[in-house]
Structure 1
């Protein structure tokens, strides 16, 4: 018992000394970068018309895709968030980072305790050393011991190393959040694009049907001598051009269907997925715009870059700590005897206490490592600044895209209304015999051509609305 007290007393004294030496960690403490000084993303205001409005200082709904009003889309995204392989990979990487932190914490924050049990068989001749002959003796030695070792964190190098690993855990967490945001945006964009292509195919097929009917009527007029064969050839060119435009649209539609299957973790051949139409989507009425100072605290890619900057700062502290002394204390308590029954006797106890203080005196590599760590920190700071600037540009681009979408959609909607009114007028005239059937077919084709452009503009407005949520970080601040 007195031996145990002696060892414990030495360890306790060394711990107090090390604690006093380690009152603060070496190297600079990390400070979050300052928020951007700008207040606006674009030099001039954005006008989204009456269908949408910018809500400043708003909070982005974590499930922002619900704002589009499609139950099928919500179900598809829920499925993807559970089964997408990319997300599963990011989740595994985050678990790995957590375990690496736990492993480092376990080996640096706490003493290492180990037990040893051993035995050896020896053969010895005591007379060899004195030059005399004697009988050879064989005997066994058994030993058992418990050892403890601890390296004191005198200047906080271990704490800086843990700080770096914690920052890397944060980095992987923000990477996962960014992957979720990218996935949901990708699914929304693909679903809307699928709806757009389906609408364009439908309108193009209606145009084709009208052109074919017009061509057949012209052929009949040629047979009756009321038209020239060149008129048929000109219409045939239009028909074949329209027919040729449908397979590329259908190919894009099928590729979008395959992409949706893969995004949800399914093989393209494993059954048909949901089909979408533009009519089932609702344009979000309010777009919550966060100011730049809030954006840098909520957007995953910016937070990931900040975490890497934090890790680089901590690793610089680790490099500095390597220039300072290191104190290691180890103790062993055990017993040694010639028989196993005597291992735990009062006369078999052995113990040792070793303290080791090391200080690098001449090692040119350590200052170079310090300078390299500082350069890595400068690179991380520049990378962070670039990510912030690119994020601000991304938001500005999306806002401008929405502004231009509004203007284009407003113009095409007005054209569509006018075209439909003209078509109704021509139908009435055709009923009265004032307009030929060919004239009615031409008016129907013009209306469908406008509808193709209108469908594309409506889809782009929805896609850019999804891009807005992604630009805002798609997360509550």
Structure 2
């Protein structure tokens, strides 16, 4: 036989084979397009679509204060810090499994001393023997003929890569949470200012009603109704004051540090919503690029590799132990000519009876693979639903904001008319009060609609996989 062919065959044998199933990415258990219907905007043309994952969070967030706050959170958030430490741990664990593919060489220098007692000595006099040795050795190196060690190393690699994807998913969530918390604070600050302005107006109306009642120009009912409005507005102001404080505490927790006052939103929700637009017509295959889905796939690949390691346990394991060095009865002769020594101990272990342990381990590995597959499918389905829900909200929010804006404007005009009629005595105070309450509710609804639109934009950016760059 050709010598080169023999060499190649030996090299292939020593390189080992793999008994793991051939991995193929599972078919996505969702439709290839987003849902269509009245709740959704028309899909963008393919040339207009842009992958949200390609839009860095600094590009997506237009407000410089919010950018600085997100960076503060990325630097200090404890949950994200744990994710980073998990990556370091997984990297170290992968290093351990990968090292098993190479022989471990150790150096050993030692002395053995033994005293022979008098009754065992040929001449009746006890004596001491000494032996000095210096060796380089390989201990129990496994020839990975059936890919057991290789597959364990592959599983470790996939677990390490999975933790990297999990860290990216954690960052995406953190960016979205900080942005939404910041927008919520801006909205609650606006609600608080609205409650304060309403309280001032209600107090003016109450004072007018009280003076008119004292002059006998109106009934006590008008005065008490005006007082009810004052107390209601005062209650709202207390509620939103506490809510603003809670929003700031939430931001501090997400940021992992005290948030400087200059990074808090100013000027209301309208000034805070500076976010890049995202196209609605994004193909559903972007879900397979989301970090959380990729993390689930890495877990599936690790489970697939573990099957190969479990299968290899049915076959013989060959390990080599060898050493070479020098030995002498005197330290001075340790490295002299004729002191060379070596040992070579190959060992073959063939499983004959394991009481079903190997088969049980293989069944466990296959069950883990099936569990990982189900979790991967669920991750894609959950991601698809998140995007579909966000798109459904987006498709209706413009109409909601437009209608709420028109309602607030109409309520403001109605209130001005009724208030003028009441001031002139041409209408009852109750009519003006009802109009004022309608205006207050419409203004609060407009704030809620604007907040919903802004947070929906952040949520859509998150669920499409943006925010880890």
Q: TM-score, normalised by structure 2?
A: 0.88
Distance 1:451 1:283 in 2: 23
Distance 1:216 1:424 in 2: 18
In structure 1, which of residues 112, 120, 139 is the aligned counterpart of residue 129 of structure 2?
A: 139
Specify the SS of the correspondent of 1:286: coil
Residue in 1 that maps onto 2:358: 366
Distance 1:339 1:21 in 2: 40
Q: Work out whether residues 121 and 140 of structure 1, in 8 Å CA contact, stay in contact via their aligned partners in 2.
A: yes
Distance 2:37 2:386 in 1: 16
Distance 2:197 2:274 in 1: 25
In structure 2, which of residues 19, 38, 42 is the aligned counterpart of residue 26 of structure 1?
A: 19
Distance 2:313 2:45 in 1: 53
In structure 1, which of residues 151, 154, 159 is the aligned counterpart of residue 150 of structure 2?
A: 159
Distance 2:68 2:262 in 1: 15
Judged with a 3 Å threshold, the aligned counterparts in structure 2 of structure 1 residues 378 and 144 are, in CA distance, closer, same or farther, namely same
Distance 1:116 1:459 in 2: 70
Specify the SS of the correspondent of 2:443: helix
Cα deviations by residue, 1:80-100 (Å, 9 ceiling, x for unpaired): 112212212111110111111
Q: Work out whether residues 16 and 144 of structure 2, in 8 Å CA contact, stay in contact via their aligned partners in 1.
A: no
Q: Work out whether residues 136 and 323 of structure 2, in 8 Å CA contact, stay in contact via their aligned partners in 1.
A: yes
CA RMSD of aligned residues (A): 3.0
Offset at residue 263 of structure 1 (A): 1.5
In the alignment, structure 1 residue 413 sits paired with structure 2 residue 388: no
In structure 1, which of residues 37, 41, 47 is the aligned counterpart of residue 34 of structure 2?
A: 41
In structure 2, which of residues 294, 309, 317 is the aligned counterpart of residue 303 of structure 1?
A: 294
The equivalences for 1:258-269 within 5 A come to 258-267=249-258
Distance 2:360 2:301 in 1: 21
The equivalences for 1:66-465 within 5 A come to 66-106=59-99, 108-125=100-117, 128=120, 134-149=124-139, 150-267=141-258, 274-276=264-266, 277-280=268-271, 281-282=273-274, 284-287=276-279, 289-296=281-288, 298-363=289-354, 364-422=356-414, 446-465=438-457
Q: Work out whether residues 175 and 301 of structure 1, in 8 Å CA contact, stay in contact via their aligned partners in 2.
A: yes
Distance 1:403 1:435 in 2: 45
Offset at residue 241 of structure 1 (A): 2.0
Offset at residue 14 of structure 1 (A): 11
Name structure 2 gaps, 5 residues minimum. Answer: 1-5
Offset at residue 125 of structure 1 (A): 4.2
Judged with a 3 Å threshold, the aligned counterparts in structure 2 of structure 1 residues 47 and 377 are, in CA distance, closer, same or farther, namely closer
Q: TM-score, normalised by structure 1?
A: 0.87
In the alignment, structure 1 residue 466 sits paired with structure 2 residue 438: no
Distance 1:226 1:41 in 2: 65
Distance 1:425 1:234 in 2: 19
- The aligned length equals 457
Name structure 1 gaps, 5 residues minimum. Answer: 1-12
Offset at residue 386 of structure 1 (A): 1.2
Offset at residue 169 of structure 1 (A): 0.9
